[in-house]
Structure 1
Amino acid sequence: MRQSGILETVWAGVAAVALMATTAFAEAPPVGEPSTDDDIAAALTGGVPMGRWKEGLTFEGISPQPWLRSAANWFPGTEDVQPNEMRIIFMGSAPFIRPGQMNTAILVELGNGKIFMFDIGEGSPANIIAGGYALNQISDVFISHLHVDHFGGLPYLWMFGTWAGGWHEQLTVHGPSGRTEEYGTATMVEGMKMMTGWHRDAFSVFPVGKGWDIEVNEFDFRDNGGVVYEEDGVRVIHWQRSHAKDGASGYRLDWNGMCFIWTGDGRPNMIDIPYAKGCDVFVTEQQQEILEISSGVQGVPPFLGRYTVDTHHTPSYAAGYIANLVQPRLLMNTHMSYDPYQIEETVAEIREHWKGPYHFGAPDGIVVNVTKDQIWVREGILPRFPNSRAPQFDFSNGQLVVPHPPHAREDIQEPYVRDMEIDPKLYYPEGYHPELLTEWPVDGDLIVPLDKVPPSLSNSMGAAWRLREANQKVLKEQSGN
């Protein structure tokens, strides 16, 4: 083709694109005579079985809520939790950590502004950040048991949640005792304090406030049905699980007439039934009966897999059996390798006993929106390279309060190494030299009235607080208080 012909073709394409850009919608047709009501009903609702759109295994109450931006996917930062909503996000879903599946961690966000973590496995803080949550928004972590794949992300949450604005509220770790003191949650946290000692002292040149004052709520693992947490209308109870060693627990959270169960790991057990009976979302772990195949895929010898399941875990058949006794609105399972060869087998085994609503709590990012009338499950689209959300603060006092750091560098570092630092004038280009902050700029706490905080900061750092206040106002009006 000659060059002028090529140019003509290119310009024709450009003109077509421009025309499309300026005519996003076709012009409305002329106004016509409306069709009869019978014709409209026949066309728009024709073929509806029994007067409703319901087919196959779609269950009553399993449907998307009207405020969801997309019924197919959840995109972090695009939807506020509604006042009467519970949102459950699987931030980690596997016993074997790998890209795409961090270790087990379930975030539960309530319409009253409360956020809880049930287990916080290794790597899960990355998904918490990808989900658009600031680490300092999480102040209560419920550990089901002390296998490292269920608490391995705790040091990171504590260290960097404190650095990123966790100054005004301690992180509280709730967890079971052991048969002896050395195997309880409190001892684990004491060990974590020792492990992070250098880190905490090094980071004490930053604002810390209450951040390092981690609290432990260790309960007696034998106290089945005991209350772990009760505040702001939220109640969490626990019961023991059979997981080869004493000191494993399941949890039930109740709020606003809805409830969530996380069994943690363990063998199928009748203790679960009275505490989980009729709960809205029942989440359990499960393992499929394909151990020889899994050994070839995952590298675990089949005899080791068989012994592990039979002493520690719930077979998929048993998960369905328990669900049939519990009768939840939705059964979910997690703590599993989400591989194609396992999916159909898992469903077949679950369906041996459970015929009701069922969904995987895997891979990472699965989101469950729960209200009293509807439950909907979607795949969350977590970004691969997310940036952290700004720390979130309660601005009800009309101030931003930044606590003074406990230490200056000279308190924890010998002068020699600082004296050997290269003069910044040698590496900054001519004509550019930032005003360096080598010392904390103020004495005492920094207290800034909200009207003097730059709007970009007050808007980003107060978003969760403003949503909580708005939702709580609705909840109070509904309760008549």
Structure 2
Amino acid sequence: MLRKKLSRREFIKLQAAALGGLALTSSSAYRAVASDTCSSKKPCVKKNAPDQQNSLFEHLETCCINEPLADDEMRITFLGTSCTPMLTQQGVSVYVEVGPTHPIVDPTGRVFNEPADYAMFDCGMGVLANYIAAGIPYARMDKIFIAHLHADHMSELSAIYCFGESADRKKPLYVWGPSKSNLVDPVSGEIHEDGTREILEHFRAFWRWHTESFSFASNGYKEYLTDVLPTLRETWGLPEGVDLTPAGKYSLYQDPPNDAYALVPIELNWETVGVAYDNQITGMKITHFPVIHCRRGSIGYKLEFTPPNHPEKTLSMIYSGDTKPNWTMVEQAAGIDVLVHEIVMPPDRWTLKFKHTDDTSVLDPNVIAYFADVQNSSHTTQGAFGCLLSQIDPRPRLTVATHFQATDDTIELARQSLDAYCIPRDVYTFALDFMVFNVTKDVIKQRRLDISRHEYPYGFTLADTPEDPKYNKQVLDPYGNPIAVGDPEAQLLLEDQIDDGPDTYDSAGYWPGEDYSPQCRD
């Protein structure tokens, strides 16, 4: 059957008719639903209720994104603070930067304050939008330290990995995480390959269609092979013998080591205390230690920053990941500057929250028992949190509770538990997305980011010395020499494509010609 080629005027009329019908249908449907379910006199949600606001966060001073850092300053930004999805709190993620910053100008002319070093701890669901709103480019999401392999701590790795390449991360993505559990499956009797490297091997294979589809562009730059990789292991102070081979054993095609789709797992022995990263140039060191959470193979991280020009001003922070209270944490956290530690509500409170009620008469003992089992395998309740803090000596200058649904009612209940352990209320706080802590030896400043909710990613750029695209075509440069350029149509079947032209659309993305408006009015 032959298809009739429409004239441009017929094409426009068909579009107008379709859009008109859509508008009529959708607006009628919306009015019907709205009139049936909502009242204009009574709000659907009591927004000033204690379970619908966070006064602690709202009263914080605001600060701008991308502020400069002094050479003896550390910044801790919370960009995900919950284990359960909420609009105000995404999955867990903490971003740490150390000074000094230095200004750089991106291709658009924007000036950015680039930190001396940085680390991303966990990347739970939904945090990428928060990172973008916080002005953090993809290129600075390339060092990710995973505490354990639960989805609320690593599910956003997919979006960070897949779309960093098409923005400004023209280098591999490095992911630190725990080694396999070595637990015996009680049914099959096997020991699962459930460590970070094996999971990321499957992860790499899983995203093959995506990465191939974007490989008409250059995915890396040549200088990374000569200027960065040869000294990377030494510069980053990586564990001796660590394998830096990119994931890819389930494919015949191996990502080049300077490719933005090269995914490099750095597996850490979860059973011991050890060094994960130790950069002598920037003064940032990260160690790991075992914690108790859900299954063998969970770790916490300790970051120490010794400013190269001020060795007497070392700063330190711990990111606990998820854990039950433990003596290793008591030992590791003694005398540090900032302890970032998980906390959860008691099981009966969890039950009420999931039932969306304060009526204790509806509590189901079986549901409470289930939540108690979850917490007994995995978490630090608010009472256990108070106990833990009472054991740390010297106590951290500031403790920040995270992994906690922080609203006025839950915060006050948790404070009462900590009061029972005589923990002063000014030595701890509760994290919410976009909280920022600037840390020096003299002061810890608590603020919140002033963000735009319509922000685009920062730092989009092309590689200065790009590698040839995988899907390319040969063209001649101005001097007649053959060069390879990306071929965006190399992977497509185009027989059914509506081509651009004077009767369809402009290849630049607009309408064809200057006569569009007069014809549109015909």
> Is the TM-score greater than 0.5?
yes
* Corresponding residue of 2:513: 431
- Number of residues paired by the alignment? 354
Q: CA RMSD in A?
A: 2.3
Contact persistence 1:207–1:404 (CA under 8 A): yes
CA distance in 2, matches of 1:304, 1:206: 50
Q: Identity over aligned residues, as a percent?
A: 27
Tell whether 2:172 aligns with 1:162: no
Contact 1:121 1:153 in 2 (8 A): yes
What is the 5 A alignment of 1:236-315? 236-256=286-306, 257-289=314-346, 291-299=347-355, 301-315=367-381
Structure 1 residue 71 displacement after superposition: 7.3
Displacement of 1:320 in angstroms is 2.3
Q: How does 1:54-453 map to 2 (within 5 A)?
A: 72-77=61-66, 79-112=67-100, 113-167=116-170, 169-180=171-182, 182-209=193-220, 210-223=259-272, 225-231=273-279, 232=281, 233-256=283-306, 257-289=314-346, 291-299=347-355, 301-326=367-392, 327-353=395-421, 354-355=423-424, 357-391=426-460, 400-408=464-472, 413=490, 417-425=493-501, 426-428=504-506, 429-431=511-513
The alpha carbon displacement at 1:279 in A equals 0.7
- CA displacement at 1:280 relative to structure 2: 0.4
SS in 1 for 2:445: strand
Deviation by residue 1:19-71 (Cα, 9 ceiling, x = unmatched): xxxxxxxxxxxxxxxxxxxxxxxxxxxxxxxxxxxxxxxxxxxxxxxxxxx97
**8 Å CA contact 1:88, 1:367 repeated in 2:** yes
Q: 1:312 to 1:378 in 2, by over 3 A?
A: same
Change (3 A) 1:412 1:421: closer
More helix by share: 1
Q: Could you say what secondary structure the match of 1:116 adopts?
A: strand
For the 8 Å contact 1:104–1:120, the answer to whether it is kept is yes
1:128 is displaced (CA, Å) by 0.4
Q: CA deviation at 1:230?
A: 0.8
Q: SS in structure 2 opposite 1:217? A: strand
Gaps of 5+ in 2: 1-58, 101-115, 183-191, 221-258, 307-313, 357-366, 473-485, 516-522
Distance 1:392 1:309, change over 3 A: farther
Describe the shift of the 1:414–1:204 C-alpha distance in structure 2 as closer, same or farther (beyond 3 A). Answer: closer
Q: Residues of 1 paired with 2:61 and 2:407: CA distance?
A: 21
Q: What TM-score does the superposition give when structure 1 sets the normalisation length?
A: 0.69
Q: What is the deviation of 1:377?
A: 1.0
Per-residue Cα deviation, 1:387-406 (whole angstroms, up to 9, x for no partner): 1112479xxxxx93333322
Q: Deviations over 1:127-155 (max 9, x none)?
A: 00000111112221110000110001111
Moved more, 230-239 or 249-258: 230-239
Q: SS where residue 149 of structure 1 aligns?
A: helix
Give, in whole Å, the separation in 1 of the partners of 2:322 and 2:121. Answer: 12
4+ runs deviating over 6 angstroms: 409-412
What is the CA deviation profile of residues 362-398 of structure 1, one whole-angstrom value per residue up to 9, with x for unaligned ones?
22111111011100111223322211112479xxxxx
CA shift in 2, pair 1:251/1:103, >3 Å: same
Q: In 2, are the aligned partners of 1:176 and 1:221 still within 8 Å (CA)?
A: yes
Work out whether residues 137 and 392 of structure 1, in 8 Å CA contact, stay in contact via their aligned partners in 2: no
**Paired residue secondary structure (1:100):** coil
Structure 1 regions of 5+ residues with no counterpart? 1-69, 394-398, 434-481
Contact conserved, 2:213 with 2:491, CA < 8 A, in 1? no
SS at match of 2:193: helix
Task: Report the Cα distance in structure 1 between the residues aligned to 2:334 and 2:97, rounded to whole angstroms.
Answer: 22
Residue 258 (structure 1) shift: 0.3
1:166-202 Cα shifts (integer Å, max 9, x gaps): 11x3211011112236110111111211221110111
The 2-side partners of 1:282 and 1:205 are apart by 45
- Report the CA distance between 1:298 and its aligned residue: 2.1
Q: Does the residue aligned with 2:303 lie in a helix, a strand or coil?
A: strand
Give 1:96 deviation, angstroms: 0.5
